[in-house]
């Protein structure tokens, strides 16, 4: 088990939320948590209206399947609208409701369990614990349906439908039945808070605690037997994809690429008008599940009409970028404009994912092998990691 990556931080986490906004270079930025990446058509329509009427007309998808609205003219009005839409169930917990879930939720060929229902249960359990409002805004839960698509994303607490509990991405040997997984994940979050030193450096993630996974696993094993089976093979990093996915029940899911993870308010509104629940993914794509083949034809045409690509070989597959100029004061270039220009010269998806970054911080850098285009005062510097 790796030793923690102690951060030496002395300040509390300042991740933005819907109430605690970030003062970006282009104005206040709000982040809305969508546990499991699930959003109904009605709620997506509300977000589209807020972006259009109160912000810059853009909704950003995050690597945690949440959304951001930039340049808010009235953060207070925005918060009131999303609260009325049911997107703010616990103001005290709104920044800590970070819950990833496998987008197909048991429907795909390797899925074992409907984890979206577990995401809802975990969200309710989290909000019911007043103490857990003190979790850092970067603390992350994940529920993997057995596909191992989100198991490799390094969440602080991950349940895999094979029965394993991972801490900071590490297999601890702890196993748990599905009906007991949510309480154990809540206990793990409580144990993280118990392990924080009131006098030492602040930790925002389990991996930042020295031997964090070992210490928290020991607390969870107290009073219950633990197993030390050989750990499963690590999940491979997944790249954004697109197209039709055959569900095990005979229906179809469609995954569509969102160029650079940004929906205009018009695109978001049109996506809501399709009238189907939408799943946002950690790869900044959108998934519409449970379609009949006939419905899939109609949905595919509707997505194409609003500029969301369902071609697996699309040049947009695997191309990401940070905010860049003018939204970020630290950025040295308008990386989104430069990335768009670069993609126009491609005939198909790049062999390796490519990330455009406005400075050395490289915000939004995907996991796994990535070709990096980093803006410097002398132009872009290319790196491969």
Q: pLDDT, tens digit, for every residue of 229-288?
A: 445 555 555 666 799 999 999 999 999 999 999 999 999 999 999 999 999 999 999 999
Mean of pLDDT over the chain = 92
Evaluate if residue 224 carries a pLDDT over 70.
no
Percent of the chain with pLDDT over 70: 92
Q: Of 256, 282, 255, give the one whose Cα is nearest residue 149.
A: 282
- Give the mean model confidence (pLDDT) for residues 140-166: 96
In DSSP terms, 333 is beta-bridged to: none
| Residue pair 260/319 in contact by the 8 Å Cβ criterion | yes
Percent of the chain with pLDDT over 90: 87
Residue 10: pLDDT band with limits 50, 70, 90: low
- Give the mean model confidence (pLDDT) for residues 295-308: 96
Burial of 133: CB neighbours in 10 Å, binned 0-12, 13-18, 19+: middle
Separation between Cα atoms, residue 340 and residue 322, nearest integer Å:
13
| Residue pair 245/279 in contact by the 8 Å Cβ criterion | no
Flag the least confident range among 35-49, 74-88, 176-190, 201-215.
201-215
Residue 232 has a pLDDT of 55
In DSSP terms, 321 is beta-bridged to: 356
Residue 230 has a pLDDT of 45
Evaluate if residue 54 carries a pLDDT over 60.
yes
Residue 226 has a pLDDT of 43
Contacts 24+ apart (CB under 8 A), 86-89: 86/43, 87/18, 87/32, 87/34, 87/43, 87/46, 87/47, 88/18, 88/19, 89/123, 89/127
- Give the mean model confidence (pLDDT) for residues 49-78: 97
Evaluate if residue 33 carries a pLDDT over 70.
yes
Residue 9 has a pLDDT of 62
Flag the least confident range among 9-13, 184-188, 293-297.
9-13
Report the SS3 class of residue 272.
helix
* CA atoms 5, 11, 17, 22: torsion sign: negative
Residue keyed to tokens 């807020």: 50
Residue 1 has a pLDDT of 34
For residue 332, CA distances in Å to 18, 33, 344, 363, 384 come to 28, 29, 22, 13, 20
Residue 199 has a pLDDT of 73
- Give the mean model confidence (pLDDT) for residues 47-68: 97
Residue 272 has a pLDDT of 98
In order of their start, the domains of the chain are: 1-13+95-238 (3.30.413.10), 17-89+252-310 (3.90.480.10), 319-384 (3.30.413.10)
């Amino acid at each position: 088990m790796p030793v923690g990556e102690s951060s030496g931080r002395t300040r509390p986490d300042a991740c933005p939320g819907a109430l605690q906004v970030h003062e970006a270079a282009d104005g206040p930025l709000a982040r809305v948590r969508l546990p499991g990446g699930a959003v109904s058509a009605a709620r997506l329509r509300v977000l589209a209206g807020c972006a259009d009427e109160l912000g810059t007309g853009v909704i950003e998808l995050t690597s945690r399947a949440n959304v951001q609205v930039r340049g808010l003219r009235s953060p207070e009005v925005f918060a009131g609208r999303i609260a009325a839409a049911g997107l703010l169930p616990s103001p005290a917990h709104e920044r800590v409701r970070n819950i990833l879930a496998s987008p197909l939720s048991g429907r795909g060929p390797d899925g074992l369990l409907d984890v979206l229902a577990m995401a809802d249960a975990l969200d309710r359990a989290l909000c019911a614990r007043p103490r857990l409002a003190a979790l850092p805004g970067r603390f992350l839960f994940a529920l993997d349906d057995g596909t191992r698509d989100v198991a490799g994303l390094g969440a602080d607490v991950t349940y895999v439908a094979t029965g394993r509990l991972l801490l900071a991405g590490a297999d601890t040997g702890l196993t748990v039945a599905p009906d007991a997984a949510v309480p154990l994940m809540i206990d793990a979050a409580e144990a993280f808070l118990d392990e924080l030193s009131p006098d030492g450096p602040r930790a925002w993630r389990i991996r930042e605690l020295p031997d964090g996974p070992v210490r928290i696993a020991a607390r969870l094993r107290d009073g219950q037997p633990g197993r030390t089976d050989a750990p499963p093979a690590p999940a491979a990093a997944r790249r954004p994809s697109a197209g039709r996915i055959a569900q095990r029940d005979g229906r179809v899911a469609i995954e569509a690429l969102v160029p650079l993870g940004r929906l205009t308010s018009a695109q978001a509104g049109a996506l809501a008008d399709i009238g189907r629940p939408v799943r946002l993914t950690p790869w900044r794509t959108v998934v519409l599940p449970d379609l009949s083949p006939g419905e899939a034809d109609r949905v595919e045409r509707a997505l194409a009409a609003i500029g969301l690509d369902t071609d697996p070989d699309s040049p947009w597959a695997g191309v990401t970028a940070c905010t860049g100029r003018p939204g970020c004061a630290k950025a040295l270039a308008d990386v989104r404009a430069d990335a768009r220009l670069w993609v126009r010269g491609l005939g198909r998806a790049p062999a390796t994912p490519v990330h455009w970054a406005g400075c050395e911080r490289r915000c939004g850098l995907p996991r796994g092998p990535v070709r990096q285009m980093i803006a410097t005062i002398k132009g872009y510097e290319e790196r491969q990691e």
